[in-house]
Amino acid sequence: MVSWREICVVNLLLVFGFVAFSTAAVGDGNGFQNFSFPAIYNFGDSNSDTGGISAAMWPVNAPNGETFFGKPSGRAGDGRLIIHFIAEKLQLPYLSPYLDSIGTNFRHGANFATGGSSIRPGGYSPFHLGIQISQFMQFKTRTTTLYSQLSPNRKVPPYKESLPRSEDFSTALYTFDIGQNDLSYGFQHSTEEQVRASIPKILAQFSHAVKQLYKEGARVFWVHNTGPIGCLPYTALYYTSKPGYLDRIGCVKPRNEIAQEFNRQLKNKVSRLRTQLLQAAFTYVDMYSVKYAVISDAKNQGFTDPMNFCCGSFYGYHINCGKKATVNGTVYGTPCNHPSRHISWDGIHYSEAANLWVANHILNGSFSDTLFSIDEACHHPQT
């Protein structure tokens, strides 16, 4: 098992922008050389779901996937998600969804994220974070058992070539992109004041999930905060309130303020976890700021109006991406011709072009807090 000191060396690489760190040779004066992440284990919602909800519940239809995969591939978007770009930078294969039974390969990790998932139970999806953690624990136990049953001199069965090595669990990267649906579901079924008041309980369950992974040997955590929910076209179109509720770029201020409060408390929670899990290294990534940056500067970054989206329709008649309808002679739901010019793919999810822009700005550490917390992660952090 790699030590906490060695993990911190890897985290330094994350911070200072050596994006190709997965193959870089580094030394700490004690013989540590050539550490690389052998696997990624991801937990989240549709922002990082690579096919879980599609395999378990309902298919994601065309034109989803048209930009990169050339066909629907279980992703809510026209192409790659941020988790794909993370895998690319680490020179690892794309993650197979844990819930998919066909064509999966878990040698270099697994994706437990599913569309609609939240941290707490009772949202849009049954696969909340607690379920995802339970799935991981079962996956790890069964994998370890299979390897323990194999004698040293026995040839490795073909099916084990698609499973992670037992020792890889302690040196893998554990990524989180979840929490947006806790807020979105709350907005739909309660008041904004109630959503704000629910944040501590939501994050208590997040903390519990991280501690469960730590007990299972996880040591390196990459945590995304939630994006500017008020800047999603879907939110802006359906939100009505008093005059002045939109900011200068058309985002819904009250929703963004609650997202920012969620992120403030999440950052504090991660800081607290550093003091409790002394052998862990955390990178807290400010997705809110990087996404707001591209939305607020859309034109200069080569995008159209950020409140426009490519697939589906919410204008007068609601049509989800992948469906069409004709109303009074008007066809709704035809996708745009140039998704790369749009930040939003379907009013809720980002386009591949926007995901790439975001990935390029977070993977070098520019939007992470690790620059200010390496000593906390490596020694005895104080809040």
Q: Which of 22, 46, 96, 344 is catalytic?
A: 46
125 catalytic? Reply is no
Contact of 143 with 198, CB cutoff 8 Å:
no
Examine the residue annotation and report whether 342 is marked as an active-site residue of this protein: no
> For residue 77, which of 308, 315, 301, 344 has the smallest C-alpha distance?
344
- Chain centre distance of CA 117: 11
Is 379 among the residues known to form the active site? no
The neighbouring-strand residues paired with 246 are 252
Q: How far is it, in rounded angstroms, from Cα 6 to Cα 2?
A: 6
φ, ψ at 66 (rounded to 5°):
-65, -30
Catalytic member of 349, 351, 369, 373: 349
In the set 45, 286, 346, 369, the catalytic residue is 346
* Residue 73 identity: S
List the beta strands (DSSP E) in the chain: 40-44, 109-111, 173-177, 220-224, 281-285, 325-327, 330-332
What stretches of 94-194 adopt beta strand conformation (E)?
109-111, 173-177
With helix as H, strand as E and coil as C, how does 64-116 read? CCCCCCCCCCCCCCCCCCHHHHHHHHCCCCCCCECCCCCCCCCCCEEECCCCC
d(CA 240, CA 224): 29
E-assigned strand segments in 103-180: 109-111, 173-177
Mapped onto helix, strand or coil, the DSSP state of residue 301 is helix
Calculated CA dihedral for residues 178, 179, 180, 181, nearest 10 degrees: 100
68: which 2 tokens? 């990169």
| Dihedral over alpha carbons 176, 209, 212, 22 (to 10 degrees) | 10
Residues annotated as catalytic are: 46, 346, 349
